[in-house]
């Protein structure tokens, strides 16, 4: 299967003004972390994160297991509330944020077919009971074709392979048409062809000026396709150009920091002097 793109199709144009940043938007801060601490039951999972994400950024989030990467995306989504500090989605309404959860968190037993799953990507525009019109049906068909799933409309999601399910979830992201796209391990356990097709969509979003944050474990893929990286080990280890961040020193430090982490630690006050940008 391969991806088919119709970037100049009229349906894309019809929605372009809703989501795509203008030239002036590019580079302005779209997401800011202010000495952010996120956690569960008062136990921090992400600690003292400070920095800005400019609009149009293609940012990889890397780090050992348990480093807080998924928690960070959930924080941006608004699903986990800060214990301290804050997250500013300065110029972006919540419906401009799209989120792809880790495959393990998606309930594949939910009785819904591929068409209806992908159609939920339209909710923010149609509303839950808004109904799907002819133009919307065309957009759903296009999105499915873009991910190589034309003809899968009536398949219950429980019958899809892992790769097909991920393609369906990417089709839903296409319809969400969001300016900030959060991807949690989007390419894990996929074959090379599926990764290439889905990566092409991510690069297309990047080309359209959307902001993409992706949690990734494959450093080679990150080095090749993600210009900037945040290396997280509960606290930020490094954040900048990928080739400067993914170096042995930082990776070893990240591993040691995660191993040394006290799971039972409570929230601490911000440390003066740690507020580097
Ligand atoms: N719902 C939850 N309730 C309590 N603790 C949680 C919850 N979700 C995550 N944690 C804890 O928060 C910490 C960070 O987890 P998180 O899933 O964000 O890490 P991660 O970097 O995404 O890890 P991985 O690479 O293994 O997916 C871990 O110690 C984890 O056990």
ipTM given for this complex: 0.97
DSSP state of 259: H
Judge if the beta carbon of residue 233 lies within 6 A of ligand 1.
no
What are the tens digits of pLDDT across the range 61-110?
A: 999 999 999 999 999 999 999 999 999 997 788 889 999 999 888 888 88
Whether 141 maps to a domain, the answer reads yes
Range of the domain at 152: 107-178
DSSP state of 213: E
Ligand 1 atom closest to the Cα of residue 39 is: 12
Say whether pLDDT at 3 is over 60.
no
Domain count, the chain: 1
Say whether pLDDT at 18 is over 50.
no
Whether 146 maps to a domain, the answer reads yes
Judge if the beta carbon of residue 45 lies within 6 A of ligand 1.
yes
Inter-residue contact 166 to 194 (CB < 8 Å)? yes
Judge if the beta carbon of residue 176 lies within 6 A of ligand 1.
no
Identify which of 36, 60, 62, 70 to mutate to test ligand 1's pocket (most ligand atoms within 8 A of the CB).
70
Q: Strand 43-54 to strand 211-215: parallel, antiparallel, or no bridges (unpaired)? A: unpaired
- Å from CA of 93 to ligand 1 middle: 26
Residue nearest to atom 12 of ligand 1 (CA): 45
Residue in the block written with tokens 């049906």: 137
Give me the sign of the Cα torsion angle 191, 196, 201, 207: positive
Residue 211 tokens read as 């902001």
Whether 195 maps to a domain, the answer reads no
What are the tens digits of pLDDT across the range 197-216?
A: 999 999 999 999 999 999 99
Whether 227 maps to a domain, the answer reads no
Q: Rounded to an integer, what is the distance from CA 95 to the centroid of its chain?
A: 14
């Amino acid at each position: 299967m391969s991806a088919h793109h119709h970037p100049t199709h009229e349906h894309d144009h019809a929605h372009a003004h809703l989501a795509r940043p203008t030239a002036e938007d590019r580079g302005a801060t779209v997401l800011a972390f202010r000495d952010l601490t996120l956690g569960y039951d008062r136990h921090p999972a992400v600690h003292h994160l400070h920095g800005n994400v400019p609009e149009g950024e293609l940012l990889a989030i890397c780090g050992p297991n348990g480093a807080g990467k998924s928690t960070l995306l959930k924080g941006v989504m608004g699903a986990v509330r800060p214990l301290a500090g804050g997250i500013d989605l300065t110029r972006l309404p919540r419906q401009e944020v799209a989120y792809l959860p880790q495959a393990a968190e998606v309930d594949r037993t939910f009785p819904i077919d591929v068409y209806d799953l992908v159609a939920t990507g339209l909710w923010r525009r149609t509303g839950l009971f808004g109904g799907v019109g002819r133009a919307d049906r065309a957009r759903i068909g296009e999105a499915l074709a873009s991910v190589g799933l034309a003809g899968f409309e009536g398949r219950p999601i429980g019958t899809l392979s892992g790769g097909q399910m991920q393609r369906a979830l990417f089709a839903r992201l296409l319809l969400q048409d969001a300016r900030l796209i959060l991807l949690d391990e989007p390419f894990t356990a996929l074959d090379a062809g599926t990764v290439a097709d889905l990566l092409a969509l991510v690069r297309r979003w990047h080309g359209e000026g959307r902001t993409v944050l992706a949690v990734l474990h494959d450093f080679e893929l990150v080095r090749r396709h993600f210009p900037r990286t945040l290396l997280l080990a509960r606290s930020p280890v490094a954040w900048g150009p990928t080739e400067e961040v993914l170096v042995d020193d930082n990776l070893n430090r990240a591993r040691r920091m995660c191993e040394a982490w006290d799971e039972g630690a409570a929230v601490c006050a911000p440390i003066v002097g740690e507020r580097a940008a």
